């Protein structure tokens, strides 16, 4: 790859100018681009991490309807914040937003800090989000690097090294830092990301309509689609789990996971993870004894569901039980409640629990995301 000094300032200015005018003409009309409110921009950037734009839009609108200011978010119950996040995944983001909002109210008089240094002190704000908020909301010449920026920069510079290594990423941050200097830094950062999302796409980049094609070294070298180089991912590890609907007077037992870790703070059916080669039914009985001190009576197998996490493929065996012995004593469980199926379905929960409840016939199989979509479509069809 060329070093920072090998590409002239004039060439960098040309790329900046072309990208900004392309962005002015072709950018997508997204709700967070209609505001300069730092709070709204922070919420959008937090939601957009690991999640597609079209998925985020209804969540973003619903979230800001409910919590239009940082004070309202700080005052909210965490469970209500989780409720608005259900279906969006990576729930630690919701927990961190809530915690950071309280810090902003208590330590910054309710104003989002406007420097990367101070933003980084808030829970859940990493270098990307700090750069995004500082540049987009406060017009600071601060860089950001996400997957789209990595792709555009490595192709533009024809850099074919492993982008998962720290030295390569550090150099990309330096390049982004050089490019962002100049007028409209927030728009420039968004233009770079927009180009990666809509033109310089992972497959079949549309070089013929790209505003920076003339200076793109990756295109000149050929096969830009093979950049950025990433080593092959390890296969997701397979894990077997068990979950049980324990019924008492028409209500089922729900348990809440401790905060932190995978699905931290989420509600689910009691159960756990099977040990290698463990008998499924015996494993369920062991899990219930270890986590709740309960001895289950007769078990009825109801089927299995599968769920893919980023590094783990879960096969969950689902059972029903109508009898148990013992008094509930929780171990590594934050809370438990006896709930109607309807109430259970409303609580913040992960994908496996939604699928398990649907398999048990306790809810429809429709995910909150598709439910939102159909609600929006219904609303539209009612409009004159």
**Cβ proximity to ligand SF4, 106 vs 226, nearer residue:** 226
Residue 149 CA to residue 134 CA, distance in Å, equals 17
Q: Which of 6, 25, 45, 342 is catalytic?
A: 45
Q: Are 95 and 376 in contact (CB under 8 A)?
A: no
**Cβ proximity to ligand SF4, 206 vs 248, nearer residue:** 206
Among 42, 156, 159, 175, binds ligand SF4 (CB under 6 A): 156
Give which of 376, 373, 374, 354 is closest to 365, Cα–Cα: 354
Q: Least distance to ligand SF4 from the beta carbon of 11, Å?
A: 14
Site for ligand SF4 in 164-223 (CB under 6 A): 199-200, 205-207, 210, 212-213, 216, 218-219
Q: Least distance to ligand SF4 from the beta carbon of 154, Å?
A: 9
Q: Least distance to ligand SF4 from the beta carbon of 214, Å?
A: 8
**Cβ proximity to ligand SF4, 208 vs 382, nearer residue:** 208
Residue 344 CA to residue 251 CA, distance in Å, equals 9
Give which of 366, 365, 350 is closest to 316, Cα–Cα: 350
> Pairing between strand 237-248 and 295-296?
unpaired
Residue 365 CA to residue 358 CA, distance in Å, equals 5
**Cβ proximity to ligand SF4, 206 vs 365, nearer residue:** 206
Binding map of ligand SF4 across residues 115-154, x = CB under 6 A, - = no contact = -------------------------------------x--
Residue 162 CA to residue 318 CA, distance in Å, equals 42
Q: Least distance to ligand SF4 from the beta carbon of 159, Å?
A: 12
Q: Least distance to ligand SF4 from the beta carbon of 198, Å?
A: 10
Structure tokens, 241: 């789990």
Residue 81 CA to residue 308 CA, distance in Å, equals 24
Q: Are 330 and 347 in contact (CB under 8 A)?
A: no
Residue 109 CA to residue 334 CA, distance in Å, equals 32
Q: How many residues bind ligand SF4 (CB under 6 A)?
A: 15
Residue 383 CA to residue 263 CA, distance in Å, equals 38
Among 38, 143, 224, 368, binds ligand SF4 (CB under 6 A): 224
**Cβ proximity to ligand SF4, 16 vs 285, nearer residue:** 16
**Cβ proximity to ligand SF4, 206 vs 376, nearer residue:** 206
Among 16, 155, 307, 355, binds ligand SF4 (CB under 6 A): 155
Q: Least distance to ligand SF4 from the beta carbon of 168, Å?
A: 18
Q: Are 334 and 257 in contact (CB under 8 A)?
A: yes
Q: Least distance to ligand SF4 from the beta carbon of 17, Å?
A: 15
Q: Least distance to ligand SF4 from the beta carbon of 222, Å?
A: 10
**Cβ proximity to ligand SF4, 20 vs 200, nearer residue:** 200
SS3 (DSSP) at 55: helix
**Per rule CB under 6 A, is residue 163 in the interface with ligand SF4?**
no
Q: Is the peptide bond before 202 cis (omega within 30 degrees of 0)?
A: no
Q: Is 79 a catalytic residue?
A: no
Residue 155 CA to residue 221 CA, distance in Å, equals 10
The Cα-based distances of 372 to 56, 87, 345 in angstroms read 11, 10, 15
**Cβ proximity to ligand SF4, 146 vs 268, nearer residue:** 146
Q: Where are the alpha helices (DSSP H) in 76-207?
A: 78-85, 92-107, 116-119, 127-132, 138, 147-156, 166-180, 185-198
Binding map of ligand SF4 across residues 47-86, x = CB under 6 A, - = no contact = ----------------------------------------
Where do contacts with ligand SF4 occur on this chain (CB under 6 A)? 152, 155-156, 199-200, 205-207, 210, 212-213, 216, 218-219, 224
Q: Name the residues annotated as catalytic.
A: 45
């Amino acid at each position: 790859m060329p070093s920072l000094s090998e590409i002239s300032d004039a060439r960098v200015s040309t790329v900046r100018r072309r990208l900004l005018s392309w962005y002015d003409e072709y950018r997508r009309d997204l709700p967070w681009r209609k505001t300069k409110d730092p709070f709204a921009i922070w919420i959008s950037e937090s939601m957009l991490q690991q999640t597609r734009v079209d998925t985020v839009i209804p969540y973003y609108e619903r979230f800001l309807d409910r919590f239009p200011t940082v004070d309202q978010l700080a005052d909210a119950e965490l469970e209500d914040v989780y409720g608005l996040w259900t279906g969006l995944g990576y729930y630690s983001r919701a927990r961190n937003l809530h915690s950071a909002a309280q810090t902003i109210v208590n330590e910054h008089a309710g104003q989002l800090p406007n420097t990367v240094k101070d933003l980084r002190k808030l829970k859940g704000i990493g270098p990307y989000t700090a750069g995004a908020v500082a540049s987009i909301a406060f017009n600071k010449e601060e860089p950001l690097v996400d997957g789209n920026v990595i792709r555009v920069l490595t192709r533009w510079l024809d850099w074919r090294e492993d982008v998962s290594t720290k030295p390569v990423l550090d150099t990309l941050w330096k390049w982004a830092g050089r490019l962002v200097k100049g007028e409209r830094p927030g728009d420039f950062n968004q233009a770079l990301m927009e180009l990666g999302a809509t033109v310089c796409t992972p497959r079949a980049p549309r070089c013929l309509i790209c505003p920076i094609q003339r200076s793109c070294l990756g295109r000149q070298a050929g096969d830009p689609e093979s950049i950025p180089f990433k080593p092959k991912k390890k296969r997701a590890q397979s894990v077997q789990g068990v979950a049980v609907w324990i019924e008492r007077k028409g209500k089922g037992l729900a348990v809440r996971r401790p905060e932190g870790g995978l699905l931290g703070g989420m509600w689910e059916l009691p159960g756990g993870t099977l040990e290698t080669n463990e008998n499924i039914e015996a494993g369920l009985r062991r899990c219930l004894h270890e986590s709740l001190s309960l001895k289950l009576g007769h078990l009825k197998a109801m089927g299995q569901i599968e769920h893919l996490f980023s590094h783990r493929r879960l096969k969950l065996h689902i059972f029903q039980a109508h009898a148990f012995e013992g008094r509930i004593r929780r171990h590594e469980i934050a809370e438990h409640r006896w709930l109607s199926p309807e109430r259970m379905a409303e609580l913040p929960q992960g994908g496996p629990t939604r699928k398990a409840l649907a398999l048990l016939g306790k809810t429809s199989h429709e995910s909150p995301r598709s439910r939102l979509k159909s609600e929006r479509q219904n609303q539209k069809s009612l409009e004159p």
